[in-house]
Structure 1
């Protein structure tokens, strides 16, 4: 895990900006880490990324002192274990719809006594060479991040309960899947989706968790910052496509 204590920064009320990348390339991860992001999210849900890819990408971000989390494909302990063992700082868990789902995610990320994560001398533990495994367990339980994604109609009824689960660091809005669940696929500004955003914001308020969100552009980031989000991410896809289109439009005038 990088020296930068992301969890403490969130607890101190800092505003963090990150970037999702779903292309399994360590050089791309390192290049993004050099741009000034506070964190990266390696997308193992929608990309082709496997744990081996993730491990090499985490090496690339570690070199630049930027923490990397992984969006795992499923809220399953065996899946979360393999991605966490790469040395990622934490996980994004998709489609968390209840407090029980959130509790299961936390237990998969944390070692005992809080969780059930299996222990051995993998890369996350510096192969057992830097400190004792007991020391590593204590540090990992204190530093690892759990980000739960609110993306379903069912989750809207339990946001407060999800945010209250011990060990949940960020409650993250997934606009696209949420719009799909609400019957308006891809219409992330539809009134029914905007109403859902309000319910999520209200549910997170007063909890120890930070509010997080995926945005498409600067305007989205500013709007969510006004709503109280402190963990705001874009995708590398949106950065590249907007920049490319903007450049081509300018030079072809």
Structure 2
């Protein structure tokens, strides 16, 4: 990020990615209270994202989690249920440091997300005073726009065959910071549902990584927490943002293991 953004907002996932560090993320779709941000911090995560596409969370609940994450130094993102500007603006104003945009099929659609997420001159995001990212301080508008544009991440999901065909053009959109491969949805779109290590998926990751390398973007991965060796291979090739799983899956997995051990007694 810029020095101005760091001064106003602090360090972020953007800084870690710029330093070529691996960023670990927790997906939130079950726990509706601020404690989940503290748990993410204690567990050692760099980021969390609230999944509004696959949960019944309200924007109010989402904002409270984002505020708690900001206070813990955990970068909060929101996977919006649609890419309409009203969703994007509201979650960003509520405390998110970026959006994860699903169902992006083309460079034009990716550019529309950037336009909604960024202040002028990079986009058309509407201005409101009193942002939580800067502690609701009063900051000159031009300085605020510059800092927030530098700090706010725009991530677009590659999860369909059509998006994969257009991946180079999507990665080339100015203002897009990261491509995030939704492995399960991409498998389904390619007609190989559930085959997470199919040759076509491996080729898809190679194409996405090549597009990121070409345009100076980062690659994120979702849906491969159960395939550690494949995940390791992708990280070695350049993937840097890793979605490790959901709070729901973490709870179910730990509870199942504990019950199994107790039953064995």
Which residue number corresponds to residue 24 of structure 2?
A: 17
Which residue number corresponds to residue 233 of structure 2?
A: 223
SS in 1 for 2:49: strand
Residue 233 (structure 1) aligned with residue 243 (structure 2): yes
Residue 156 (structure 1) aligned with residue 164 (structure 2): yes
Aligned-residue RMSD, C-alpha = 2.0
Superimposed CA distance per residue, residues 51-71 of structure 1 (whole angstroms, 9 cap, x where no aligned partner): 211111112112211110110
Write out aligned runs for 1:1-253 (5 A): 2-23=9-30, 24-124=32-132, 126=134, 129-214=137-222, 215-217=224-226, 219=228, 221-235=231-245, 236-253=247-264
Greater CA drift, 195-204 or 70-79: 195-204
Shift of 1:75: 1.4
1:156 and 1:196 in contact (8 A); partners too: yes
Shift of 1:250: 3.2
Give unmatched runs, 5+ long, in structure 1. Answer: none
Shift of 1:134: 2.7
For the structure 1 residues 218 and 37, does the alpha-carbon distance in structure 2 shift closer, same or farther, using more than 3 Å as the test? farther
Structure 1 Cα separation of the partners of residues 166 and 67 of structure 2: 37
Structure 1 Cα separation of the partners of residues 61 and 180 of structure 2: 24
TM-score (norm 2): 0.87
For the structure 1 residues 125 and 199, does the alpha-carbon distance in structure 2 shift closer, same or farther, using more than 3 Å as the test? closer
Structure 2 Cα separation of the partners of residues 190 and 228 of structure 1: 19
For the structure 1 residues 128 and 55, does the alpha-carbon distance in structure 2 shift closer, same or farther, using more than 3 Å as the test? same
1:211 and 1:228 in contact (8 A); partners too: yes
1:2 and 1:67 in contact (8 A); partners too: no
TM-score (norm 1): 0.91
Give unmatched runs, 5+ long, in structure 2. Answer: 1-7
Shift of 1:102: 1.2
2:67 and 2:132 in contact (8 A); partners too: no
